[in-house]
Amino acid sequence: MICFRNARGRYLALLLLLWLIVNAAVRTTLLVMAHRTLETSFALPELIAIYFRGTINDLFPYILLTLPMLPFLLLKKHLWGGRTGRIIFSLIFWLYGCAFLFGAVAETLFWDEFGSRFNFIAVDYLIYTTEVIRNITESYPVFPLLAAIAASAAVLAVIFLRGFWKRAHLPAPRSTWMTVVCILLVIAAVIYTPLSASDRVERELSANGVWSLFSAYRNNELDYREFYSVIDTDKAFRLVHDGLQEKQVSFLTPNSEEWRRTITATRPEWNPNVIQIVVESLGTNLLGKNTPNLNAVIQKSLYLSGLMATGTRTVRGIEALTLCLPPTPGASIVRRPDCGDLFSTGSIFRARGYDTAFVYGGFGYFDNMNAFFSGNGFRIVDRSSVSGSDITFANAWGMCDEDLFRTSLREADACFEQGRPFYQFVLTTSNHRPFTYPDGKVSIPSGSGRSGAVAYTDYAIGSFLKEAASRPWFADTVFIISGDHTSGAAGHTDLPPDRYRIPAIIYSPGHIAPAQVNTLCSQADIAPTLFALLGWSYDSGFFGRNVLDMLPEEGRAWIGTYQILGMLKPDSLTMLEPLKEPVVTAWNPDTGELGPLADREGTGTRIEEAVAWYQTAHDLFRSGRLKEKTVMLRHEAER
CATH number for the domain harbouring residue 310: 3.40.720.10
pLDDT of residue 220: 66
**Do 153 and 261 have their domain in common?**
no
Reported as a single tens digit per residue, the pLDDT across 265-275 is: 999 999 999 99
Task: Measure the CA angle with vertex 254, ends 248 and 258; round to 5°.
Answer: 80
How far apart CA 96 and CA 90 sit, in angstroms, is 10
Query: 10 Å Cβ neighbour count for 369?
Result: 24
CA dist 177 → 5, 183, 577 (Å): 15, 10, 42
pLDDT of residue 179: 63
d(CA 428, CA 432): 9
Report the distance separating Cα 473 and Cα 469, nearest Å: 8
Please write the tens of the pLDDT for every residue from 490-511.
Answer: 655 678 999 999 999 999 999 9
342-393 tens-digit pLDDT:
999 999 999 999 999 999 999 999 999 999 999 999 999 999 999 999 999 9
Tally of domains within the chain: 2
Helix H or strand E encompassing 355: strand 355-360
- The verdict on residue 112 lying in a domain is yes
* Spacing of C-alpha 111 from chain mean position: 14
Model confidence band, residue 119 (pLDDT cutoffs 50, 70, 90): confident
In a domain, 224, yes or no: no
pLDDT digits (tens, 9 = 90+) for 32-81: 988 877 666 788 888 999 999 999 999 888 888 888 877 766 655 555 56
Residue 245 lies in a domain: yes
CA distance 358 to 321: 13
pLDDT bin (cut points 50, 70, 90) of residue 3 is very low
Q: Are residues 196 and 306 in the same domain?
A: no
578-594 per-position pLDDT tens digit: 888 999 999 999 888 88
pLDDT at 2: 41
pLDDT digits (tens, 9 = 90+) for 446-503: 999 999 999 999 999 999 999 999 999 999 999 999 999 998 766 556 789 999 999 9
335 and 214 together in one domain: no
CB-based burial, 443-457: b 16+ in 10 Å, e otherwise: ebebbeebebbbbbb
Confidence of residue 256 (pLDDT cuts 50, 70, 90): confident
Residue 78 pLDDT: 53
- Last residue of one domain, picked from the residues 165, 190, 218: 218
Q: What percent of the chain has pLDDT over 70?
A: 89
Rounded alpha-carbon distances, angstroms, from residue 98 to 20, 94, 104, 146, 335: 14, 6, 10, 9, 33
pLDDT score recorded for residue 358:
98
Strand 594-595 and strand 273-279: the pairing is unpaired
In a domain? residue 2: no
pLDDT at 638 (0 to 100): 43
Q: For residue 440, what pLDDT is reported?
A: 95
**What was the pLDDT predicted at 438?**
97
**Domain interval for residue 191:** 7-218
CA separation for the pair 572, 15 (Å, rounded)? 49
Q: Looking at the domain assignment, is residue 223 inside a domain? A: no
Give the domain-ending residue among 194, 218, 242.
218
- For residues 240 and 196, membership in a common domain is answered with no
User: Residues with Cβ < 8 Å from 588, sequence gap 6 or more?
Assistant: 571, 594, 595
Q: At what angle do helices 7-37 and 44-65 cross, to 10 degrees?
A: 130
**What pLDDT, in 10s, does the model give residues 164-206?**
776 655 454 455 555 666 666 667 666 667 777 778 888 889 9
Instruction: Tell me the pTM.
Output: 0.81
> What average pLDDT does the structure give for the chain?
89
